[in-house]
Chain A
Amino acid sequence: GENVEQHPSTLSVQEGDSAVIKCTYSDSASNYFPWYKQELGKRPQLIIDIRSNVGEKKDQRIAVTLNKTAKHFSLHITETQPEDSAVYFCAAKWSAGKSTFGDGTTLTVKP
């Protein structure tokens, strides 16, 4: 199976600063890497994703980078705002239907 490690488990930044969350995976067959944002008591929502044939993808203040050789991918949030505060999960899809999630990063953006 797949093993996904996510770091850090908690991250506190000042409003306007950047935040970076990293995930490593073990199965080289993994080919799809989504990131989800979950606010307290709510459902996870997809914020960005990347496939294994792409090295970087951006969507406004959010970007994801993928290094297939090193088997790691990262979420970058620039110009953070208080509403970015949430738990962020990475995931790696390694077989038909199966994805493994990281344990999550609690991001706090201080005004």
Chain B
Amino acid sequence: DGGITQSPKYLFRKEGQNVTLSCEQNLNHDAMYWYRQDPGQGLRLIYYSQIVNDFQKGDIAEGYSVSREKKESFPLTVTSAQKNPTAFYLCATSKESNQPQHFGDGTRLSIL
């Protein structure tokens, strides 16, 4: 969706390295989400935030961390503890938590 910017589009991680995926939105949406998508599979929730300075773990939070210091931004850090990080990462936003989610264009992360 216009209004949700994920960067970079492609990212490569070396062994033992932390990498951060950016998600910025100008939709003035309160809620933001991070999903992981593996080939041929659905979306699995990593973390979500319903309001600034607050976030909750999703179904697969281990090896990931997030922050929500600003309403517009919800960066995701893939830590070295995540042993299988290769996937397509999607950020989403919604006006409120019970409203439709709108997705960014995604970041494809691979291991070097």
* Contact present for B98 and A102 (CB under 8 Å): no
Q: B58's closest neighbor in chain A, by CB?
A: A98
A97 and B48 contact, Cβ closer than 8 Å, known pairs A102-B42, A103-B41, A103-B42: yes
Interface-located stretch among B12-20, B62-70, B74-82, B101-109? B101-109
Q: Kindly state whether residue B50 has any CB partner on chain A within 8 Å.
A: yes
Q: Kindly state whether residue B111 has any CB partner on chain A within 8 Å.
A: no
Q: Kindly state whether residue B56 has any CB partner on chain A within 8 Å.
A: yes
Q: How far is the CB of A32 from chain B (nearest CB, A)?
A: 6
Number of A residues with CB within 8 Å of any CB on chain B: 23
Q: How far is the CB of A37 from chain B (nearest CB, A)?
A: 11
Interface-located stretch among A12-20, A41-49, A56-64? A41-49
Q: Kindly state whether residue A101 has any CB partner on chain B within 8 Å.
A: yes
Q: Kindly state whether residue A1 has any CB partner on chain B within 8 Å.
A: yes
* Contact present for B102 and A93 (CB under 8 Å): no
CA distance A45 to B33 in the complex (A): 15
* Contact present for B50 and A43 (CB under 8 Å): no
CA distance A34 to B102 in the complex (A): 11
A104 and B41 contact, Cβ closer than 8 Å, known pairs A32-B98, A44-B90, A45-B103: yes
* Contact present for B43 and A89 (CB under 8 Å): yes
Partner of A98, one of B40, B48, B104, B106: B48
Q: How far is the CB of B50 from chain A (nearest CB, A)?
A: 5
Per-residue interface assignment for chain B, residues 83 to 103, with 1 indicating a CB less than 8 Å from any chain A CB and 0 otherwise? 000000010000001101111
Given contacts A97-B56, A98-B48, A101-B44, 14 further A-B contacts (CB under 8 A): A6-B42, A31-B98, A43-B103, A43-B105, A46-B100, A46-B101, A46-B102, A96-B98, A97-B48, A100-B45, A100-B59, A101-B35, A101-B43, A104-B42
By Cβ-Cβ distance, the 6 closest A-B pairs, closest first, are A101-B42, A43-B103, A97-B97, A101-B43, A103-B42, A97-B48
By a beta-carbon cutoff of 8 Å, the part of chain B in contact with chain A is 1, 31, 33, 35, 40-45, 48, 50, 56, 58-59, 90, 97-98, 100-106
By a beta-carbon cutoff of 8 Å, the part of chain A in contact with chain B is 1, 6, 31-32, 34, 42-46, 49, 89, 91, 93, 96-104
